[in-house]
Amino acid sequence: MRSVSRLAISRLALAVAGFALAGTAAMTATPALAQKKKAEKTASGEYSKEFRAAAGPAQEAMQKAQALNDEAKKLQAAGNAAAANAKKEEAKAAYLAAKPGVEALAPLAKSADEQVLVGEYQLQIAAFSDDQKGQQAALERILASGKANPASLGAYNYFAGAFAYQDKNYPKAIEYLAAAKQHGNKDADAMLVDAYLQGGQVDQGLKMAREAIAARQASGQAMTDDLFTRPALALQKANRKPEMMEFVLGRVQYFPTAEYWGNAIDMVVQQSPTVDAKLDLLRLKSTAGLMRDEYDFTTYSYLAAEEGLPAESLAAINEARTKAKLGAGAVTELRDREAKQKARLATDTKASLGGSETAARSAANGRIAKSTGDAWLNHNEFAKAAAMYQLSLEKGGVDANLLNTRIGIALAKQGDKAGAKAAFAKVTGPRANIAKLWTIYLDSGVKG
């Protein structure tokens, strides 16, 4: 999870500076009226006489610092960066000079309004001195008062929760971040999810992640990969791999980078025990241009050879030589395999498949049609492969999920995106994630 930006919290503090000073001005604007009020009424939201008297010097010091900061902003806007930086240093010194007066005022703060005023002064000072602990304490003081500016509640709770999260105080982080969401903050959900996960409330974190993802989908708000990465890591740690894949696939759907694609395919490969399943995943990896190293290429050529697909095995070998840095062992392995597959390809020709198609049509079940479809796919005859797989599906006796996967691959390879997605949508069981990855690829491709 990304750390809380000091610049971001500094900007937050400065954004409320005007509110804090305006509040002080209002406090001193009507002394005659204030004198008519008794100190015991401060709980209703006013300032006691004692607090007013002590607040004067602190207010003057803070106004001086604010004025210097305003000058720095004007200089920055005018393009005078050197003068702006110098003026910022003056403002910082002024804020630090105001700190003792504000700290002396803090014990006198009894009412909610007094607590807010002190807290916002403390927030500004802490922001200028890069004091995160001070910022956190100031935010907590403001929020505990119950009188914070309603427009700032989302931001205040978010940063208070973020600081607690950084300190690994997950119960407190959850409290503040949940409040931030309630007050309309749109950045709190990912950190809130991880606070639940890190705090041991995994199921609640997963629930929050799913809700946040659905809400962003519905509203069109930009997705964040933390909503997928953090739950996936927690589920991996808990050895809940089926649920983990939900978030792994979701991440690559919204963030189809080469890195995330490679990770997603590799994870599904690890969970796929059969040669045919691994082969269909490596076909996707090759189609998407994601083959990364000699292991990918040697494995692909090996699996294709094991399935009796010499042309496909040789294609993987040729691609390995142009795209991968091969070690001596891989060079030898591929050379030996190449010789065997070339010999096999000499007899496993396209011309030999006419008889197989005839036999497939008259067979009692779909096994011959399936093997014939594989052979056509091996020769990149995708339309013929899809037709044979469809025939096998109609005759029965072969795993329908495998056949629908292969129909989808064949149609995808010939550019029939809609037909391929329709076939993949029919895949269930252990092959479902293979079909989902192919579908995501058809929809999103690889970006970056």
Q: What is the pLDDT of residues 54-72, one digit of tens each?
A: 999 999 999 999 999 999 9
| DSSP-derived secondary structure for 75-131 | HHHTT-HHHHHHHHHHHHHHHHHHHHHHHHHGGG--SHHHHHHHHHHHHHHHHHTT-
Positive/negative CA dihedral, 207, 213, 217, 221: positive
Give, as one character, the DSSP assignment of residue 437: H
For residues 75 and 67, what is the distance between their CA atoms, to the nearest angstrom? 13
For residues 417 and 123, what is the distance between their CA atoms, to the nearest angstrom? 56
Location of structure tokens 């006198």: 108
Q: Which of 212, 207, 242, 239 is nearest to 225 (CA)?
A: 212
Ranges of beta strands (E only) in 348-440 are none
Angle formed by the axes of helices 400-413 and 275-287, nearest 10°: 20
Instruction: Calculate the dihedral angle through the C-alpha atoms of 318, 319, 320, 324, rounding to the nearest 10 degrees.
Output: 140
| pLDDT at residue 45 in the model | 53
| pLDDT at residue 141 in the model | 96
Q: Which residues contact 292 (CB under 8 A, 6 or more apart)?
A: 262
What residue spans of 30-77 are helical by DSSP H? 31-35, 49-77
| pLDDT at residue 292 in the model | 86
The CA-atom distances, in angstroms, between 236 and each of 2, 244, 247 are 20, 6, 11
Our CA angle for 374, 375, 381, nearest 5°, is: 95
Q: What is the pLDDT of residues 146-199, one digit of tens each?
A: 999 999 999 999 999 999 999 999 999 999 999 999 999 989 999 999 999 999
SS3 171: helix
pLDDT in tens, the chain (448 residues): 544 444 344 444 434 433 333 333 334 332 222 332 333 344 445 799 999 999 999 999 999 999 999 999 999 999 999 999 999 999 999 999 999 999 999 999 999 999 999 999 999 999 988 899 999 999 999 999 999 999 999 999 999 999 999 999 999 999 999 999 999 998 999 999 999 999 999 999 999 999 999 999 999 999 999 999 999 999 999 999 889 999 999 999 999 999 999 999 999 999 888 999 999 999 999 999 999 899 999 999 999 999 999 999 999 999 999 998 999 999 999 999 999 999 999 998 898 898 999 999 999 999 999 999 999 999 999 999 999 999 999 999 999 999 999 999 999 999 999 999 999 999 999 999 999 999 999 999 999 7
Angle formed by the axes of helices 81-105 and 112-128, nearest 10°: 140
For residues 385 and 362, what is the distance between their CA atoms, to the nearest angstrom? 17
| pLDDT at residue 129 in the model | 87
SS3 407: helix
For residues 11 and 159, what is the distance between their CA atoms, to the nearest angstrom? 12
Q: Is 375 left (phi over 0), alpha (psi -120 to 50) or beta?
A: alpha
| pLDDT at residue 289 in the model | 94
Location of structure tokens 């002080």: 24
SS3 366: coil
Q: Which of 239, 157, 233 is nearest to 193 (CA)?
A: 233
Positive/negative CA dihedral, 356, 361, 367, 370: positive
Q: Is 402 left (phi over 0), alpha (psi -120 to 50) or beta?
A: alpha
| pLDDT at residue 336 in the model | 96
For residues 148 and 139, what is the distance between their CA atoms, to the nearest angstrom? 10
